């Protein structure tokens, strides 16, 4: 991006100070008819300008938002409210009144370097002592409690500094805190993880298109207005003013509460982006993949925010979201502030004090004096402190959780999940809080209803083999769609189980789009043709999962493959997109293209064990086992506590005839995860091969104890014992196989033969 791009409205306007009254060609306020005439004349090329807002506001530079200024001519109250909002300040040029302190020879030590922030005749400068490199800060985002700054990148885009200015403390700090991120890391501020154009800009600009060229690896991004302006929430813009009103946005098509909410969610969500085509009135699930609590470290297993997760996931997981509560039930759309006070519970009790219905669902009436054991004058008597506790984003920005969980200290004791009780009573233990909850609410409080679900999610994170029955049980009785999607997605590790496939096939008609998407993923893992039913789903989030699952069988010119490839190309500026394109190339048997995309992913995210792992698997498929092992060694070096990586390394070492190395790798995997059945099974086979029969038999017996249903394990043991002359034990193992699978013909043959030999 450059300052000479014609698409940048902002680059053509001079900077204007905060309280300057704008001079309007047409004079003071004009009527709607005059505005409409002026607009039409301007479009006809007469040069006459339309009416615009004429008052001062808190917004940093009104000349930067010419379209919204025209909205403000008629909607002055709303424009003034918006101009003082965080949305208006989401993106701005730098100015003396805001940057003079931050760039007055200030310093910050972080990540082994010293950053210096200064001002000269050319503007604001950021100097990195470690790299001996300087950048010009060109844009700013945010205002309270922190401001971040953007510097130009070599690819035509921008990087967002991880150093941020604390407006209240008047100091620089690093948003990653003590987390170590070095140059070359994906997550370092000079890496792809802090690329403004793909990671941030869509939610900080109006009508933003990143326009990434994967061949040149460059951006030519455009936008209509900086910040989140009128057109981002009320669009699309009309080609000419609407007849009768003069509005540039249609007043005839009234948005539903869900459409308005989806527009809010397009930014206030942790999500992956399929395209840049989302417009007001569209469905969120047709353009984005919402991130659910399906992997550890992102959310807590009860759905509470753990990382920088925003609002939408929590709300969808909540009973309030299921009842139809949307953003505008609580938040004013123009100021962004709450409609009613939260400090005295007025906001929450508007519904929970009256039983008011939202979308036909009545809120349960709550008597605050009995609802909590905390004193009525205390923080603990505030609804939000218990049900929406705050956690820090970017190290210093407190934001409230939107999953509306009830604090359950018992699960804090069991699983380490934070709870609002000890978040407030910091001098007390989780055990104390659990006992207090039990004493006040009894042995079976309302929150106990969700404990099994939380335990199932946590145990799935931990890879516990015996959690599948609990996951299935919780799925069958779950009422919230986003939780059904989460539970089904977590069954992916058991996708080949017939019972799991049966559940997934039944979810093809689930009313929740994310659950249908999870069904496509799980069915695709087992090559279940029923996934094909979802190729024509009305929502892209479902179709893409079905297309990905069936990519090996989709013709290159089919609508599904074209849609899948287009979504991956939209993400091609990130390692995840490059990896998807590599896998699509593999499906098309284009090894050369796959190698090129893997090379990009490795360049952009060299410290990712996942990239090295997937590249190793590709190399092995090409018969390049030696290179595959080297890539897997690097993956293990980067993530030495990942048992699966050690297991895969062991398989590669077997391919390279490195049997001692493979045994050592399997040993490492089992040290980390003693119940890792696949590692035990393969170590057993290898132990027999190298003459360690006793250890091989022990491994298979352990496998059989861990998985009491799989007939393949005792059958393998029966074959091993029979082959080594242990006929009586072989007969017993064959009998166990037949107990698990009565029609197992080969096991019956071994049983009969071993019985004869054992006489």
**Phi (first) and psi of residue 318, to 5 degrees:** -90, 160
SS3 content of the chain, % helix, strand, coil (to 5): 50, 10, 40
Concatenating the DSSP letter of every residue in 239-274 gives: SSPPTTT--SB-SSSPPPHHHHHHHHHTTSB-EEES
pLDDT tens-digit profile of 675-685? 899 999 999 99
Q: What is the pLDDT of residue 59?
A: 67
Q: How confident is the model at residue 8 (pLDDT cuts 50, 70, 90)?
A: very low
Instruction: Tell me the average pLDDT across 559-564.
Output: 97
Q: CA 630, CA 636: separation in Å to the nearest integer?
A: 10
pLDDT at 387: 97
CA distance 357 to 360: 5
Q: How far is it, in rounded angstroms, from Cα 155 to Cα 6?
A: 19
Share of the chain above pLDDT 90, in %: 80
Residue for token pair 């009998």: 735
Q: Is the pLDDT of residue 251 over 90?
A: no
Query: Cα–chain-centroid distance for residue 570?
Result: 17
Q: Which residue has 């059958």 as its token pair?
A: 715
How far, CA to CA in Å, does 739 sit from each of 718, 735, 754?
13, 6, 17
At 131, is the pLDDT very low, low, confident or very high (cuts 50, 70, 90)?
Answer: confident
d(CA 572, CA 549) in angstroms, rounded, equals 19
Q: Token pair 């209240």 is at which residue?
A: 168
The domains located in the chain, with CATH, are 1-88+228-253 (no CATH), 93-227 (no CATH), 258-405 (no CATH), 691-759 (1.25.40.10)
pLDDT above 80 for 357: yes
Q: Are 381 and 374 in contact (CB under 8 A)?
A: yes
Above 90 in pLDDT, residue 423? yes
Helix locations, 334-450, DSSP H: 346-352, 368-371, 383-387, 409-415, 420-424, 430-441
Residue 67's pLDDT band (cuts 50, 70, 90): confident
Q: Is the pLDDT of residue 143 over 80?
A: yes
pLDDT at 468 > cutoff 90: yes
**Residue 50 confidence (pLDDT) above 80:** no
What's the pLDDT at 33? 37
Examine the pLDDT at 18 and tell me if it is beyond 90: no
Of 158 and 58, the structure prediction assigns the larger pLDDT to 158
- Which pairing describes strands 113-120 and 106-110: parallel, antiparallel, or unpaired? antiparallel
Of residues 251 and 621, more confidence is placed in: 621
Average pLDDT, stretch 44-62?
A: 62
DSSP bridge partners of 272:
289
Q: Which pLDDT score, from 0 to 100, does residue 192 have? A: 94
Q: Kindly report whether the peptide bond that precedes residue 236 is cis, defined as omega within 30 degrees of 0.
A: yes
Rounded to an integer, what distance in angstroms lies between the CA atom of residue 342 and that of residue 384?
A: 7
Q: Which helix (H) or strand (E) element contains residue 551?
A: none
Kindly state the DSSP code that residue 331 receives in the 8-state scheme.
B
Q: pLDDT tens-digit profile of 593-626?
A: 999 999 999 999 999 999 999 999 999 999 999 9
Buried b (16+ CB within 10 A) or exposed e, 194-215: bbbbbbbbbbbbbbbbbbbebe
pLDDT in tens, 160-169: 999 999 999 9
Model pLDDT for residues 187-232, shown as the tens digit of each residue: 999 999 999 999 999 999 999 999 999 999 999 999 999 999 999 9
- pLDDT at position 2, please? 33
Mean pLDDT for the chain overall: 90
């Amino acid at each position: 991006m450059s300052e000479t791009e014609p698409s940048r409205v902002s680059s053509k306007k001079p900077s204007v100070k905060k309280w300057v009254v704008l001079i309007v060609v047409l004079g003071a306020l004009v009527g709607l008819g005059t505005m409409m005439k002026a607009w039409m004349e301007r479009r006809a090329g007469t040069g006459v300008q339309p009416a615009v807002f004429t008052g001062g506001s808190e917004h940093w530079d009104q000349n930067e938002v010419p379209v919204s200024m025209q909205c403000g001519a008629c909607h002055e109250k709303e424009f003034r409210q918006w101009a003082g909002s965080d949305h208006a300040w989401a993106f701005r040029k730098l100015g003396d009144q805001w940057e003079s302190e931050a760039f007055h020879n200030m310093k910050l030590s972080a990540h082994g370097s010293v950053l210096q922030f200064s001002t000269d005749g050319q503007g604001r400068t950021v100097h990195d002592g470690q790299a001996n490199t300087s950048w010009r800060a060109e844009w700013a985002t945010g205002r309270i409690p922190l401001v971040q700054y953007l510097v130009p990148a070599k690819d035509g885009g921008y990087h967002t500094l991880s150093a941020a200015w604390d407006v209240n403390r008047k100091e620089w700090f690093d948003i990653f805190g003590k987390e170590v991120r070095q140059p070359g890391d994906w997550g370092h501020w000079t890496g792809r993880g802090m690329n403004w154009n793909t990671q941030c800009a869509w939610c900080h600009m109006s009508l933003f298109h990143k326009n990434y060229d994967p061949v040149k690896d460059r951006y030519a991004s455009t936008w209509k207005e900086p910040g989140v302006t009128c057109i981002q929430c009320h669009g699309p813009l009309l080609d000419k003013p609407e007849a009768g009103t003069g509005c540039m946005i249609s007043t005839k098509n009234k948005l539903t509460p869900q459409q308005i909410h989806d527009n809010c969610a397009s930014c206030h969500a942790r999500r992956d982006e399929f395209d840049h085509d989302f417009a007001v009135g569209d469905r969120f699930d047709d353009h984005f993949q919402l991130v659910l609590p399906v992997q550890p470290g992102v959310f807590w297993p009860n759905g509470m925010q753990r990382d920088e997760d925003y609002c939408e996931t929590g709300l969808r997981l909540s009973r309030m979201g299921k009842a139809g509560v949307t953003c505008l039930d609580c938040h004013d759309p123009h100021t962004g502030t709450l409609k009613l006070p939260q400090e005295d519970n007025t906001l929450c009790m508007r519904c929970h004090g009256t039983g008011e219905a939202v979308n036909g669902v009545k809120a349960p009436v709550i008597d605050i004096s009995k609802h909590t054991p905390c004193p009525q004058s205390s923080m603990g008597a505030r609804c939000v402190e218990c049900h929406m506790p705050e956690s820090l984003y970017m190290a210093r920005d407190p934001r409230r959780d939107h999953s509306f969980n009830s604090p359950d200290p018992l699960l804090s004791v069991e699983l380490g999940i934070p709870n609002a009780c000890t978040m407030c009573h910091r001098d007390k233990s989780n055990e104390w809080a659990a006992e207090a909850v039990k004493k006040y609410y009894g042995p079976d409080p309302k929150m106990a209803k969700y404990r099994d679900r939380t335990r199932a999610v946590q145990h799935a994170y931990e890879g516990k083999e015996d959690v599948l029955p609990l996951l299935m049980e919780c799925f069958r009785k779950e009422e919230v769609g986003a939780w059904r999607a989460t539970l089904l997605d977590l069954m992916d590790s058991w996708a080949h189980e017939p019972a799991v496939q049966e559940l997934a096939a039944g979810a093809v008609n689930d009313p929740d789009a994310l659950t249908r998407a999870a069904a496509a993923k799980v069915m695709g893992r087992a090559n279940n043709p029923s996934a094909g039913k979802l190729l024509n789903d009305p929502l892209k989030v479902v179709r893409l999962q079905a297309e990905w699952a069936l990519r090996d069988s989709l013709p290159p010119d089919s609508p599904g493959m074209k849609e899948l490839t287009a979504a991956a190309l939209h993400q091609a500026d990130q390692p995840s997109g490059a990896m998807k394109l590599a896998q699509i190339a593999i499906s098309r048997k284009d090894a050369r293209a796959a190698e090129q995309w893997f090379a990009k992913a490795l360049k952009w995210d060299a410290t990712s064990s996942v990239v090295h792992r997937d590249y190793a698997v590709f190399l092995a498929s090409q018969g390049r086992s030696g290179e595959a092992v080297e890539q897997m060694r690097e993956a293990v070096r980067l993530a030495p506590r990942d048992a699966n990586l050690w297991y895969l390394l062991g398989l590669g070492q077997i391919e390279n005839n490195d049997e001692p190395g493979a045994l050592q790798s399997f040993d490492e995997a089992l040290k980390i995860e003693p119940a890792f059945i696949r590692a035990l099974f393969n170590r057993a086979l290898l132990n027999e091969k190298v003459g360690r029969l006793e250890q091989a038999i022990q491994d298979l017996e352990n496998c059989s104890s861990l998985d009491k249903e799989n007939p393949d394990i005792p059958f393998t043991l029966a074959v091993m014992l029979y082959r080594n002359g242990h006929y009586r034990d072989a007969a017993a193992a064959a009998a166990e196989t037949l107990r698990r699978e009565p029609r197992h013909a080969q096991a019956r043959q071994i049983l009969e033969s071993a019985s004869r030999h054992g006489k």
